Every structure is written in C-alpha cells, then in structure tokens.
Amino acid sequence: MTNFPSPSELIAHRAPFLFVDELTALEPGQSATGIWRLTGNENFFAGHFPGRPTLPGVLMCEAIAQVGACAILSDEKFKGKLPLFGGLDGARFRRQVIPGDVLEMSVSLGRMSARAGKGSGVAKVNGEIACECELLFVIVDA
C-alpha cells in the first residue's frame, strides 16, 4: 500500500473549504485521485435542500479542482505556486450526491505551462458518474 501526502500538505485549502479527505492515487504533474466522505454534518446540507440534502454541483466541481491542484502542486516545478480556477467548461451533473456518499474524484492534467494548464475531471459515487468537467488552472505565486 502506497502512502500519499495529505491534501492539506499540498494545497492551501482548509476546513471548512477543504473537500478532499485523502488522496488514493497521485502521479505528480499528471493525475490524482482523492475521496471526500460526506457525513451529512457539512453545513451546506442544512440549506441545500431542507428535507432532501444534496451536494451542490458547484462544490463537486470545486472538489474536483482541489484534486487537480494536488496533482499540480505535487510536481516540484510548481513549488511555491497557487493554482486558481481560470475556467470551467462542460460541467455535467449525472446523479444526486447525498449525506453518507463517498465521492471519488479523479483528475488527469493536460497541457501545463508555468502560468496555466488544463485538466479533465470526474467525480463518482460507487462507480457511477456524478459530475464531469474540464478545468482551466491559472498558476500564480503563492
């Protein structure tokens, strides 16, 4: 079994806005896979939606981007940098994600330069696609 760094060792996000509990695969500068265990205690569930808690799609996209940022920042050439959202294309939501679900997010990075890059991400629950999106990262000094 391979031990991967904690997401908080790689990215600047912290609770309550860190949406990756652990990395389960990592190829620095190439790809990453991580999981987010949704307990139901997350405060957004109370208002989205009362009586039918549902993970907001935009937070799924953010979680996918955080996994992508882990892939970027695990590459030494991006040490001291901060990947920011530059764009989000083709986001599609395929299933509802609810408390108790474990969201598995995978990102494959495409072309990356010193200042920007692209990635393709997917989030699944029990192997079933919940969200897919294309990411554009802008790389700035941390």
Catalytically active residues, by annotation = 48
- Listed in sequence order, the DSSP H helices in 21-91 are 44-47, 57-73
- Token pair 């937070």 is at which residue? 59
Q: How far, in whole angstroms, is CA 14 from its chain's centroid?
A: 13
Candidates 31, 4, 8; CA nearest to 19 is: 8
Contact 31, 25 (CB under 8 A): yes
DSSP β-bridge partners for residue 107: 32, 121
Structure tokens at 108: 């494959």
Q: SS3 helix, strand, coil % of the chain, rounded to 5?
A: 20, 45, 35
Torsion of CA 87, 12, 63, 20, to 10 degrees: 160
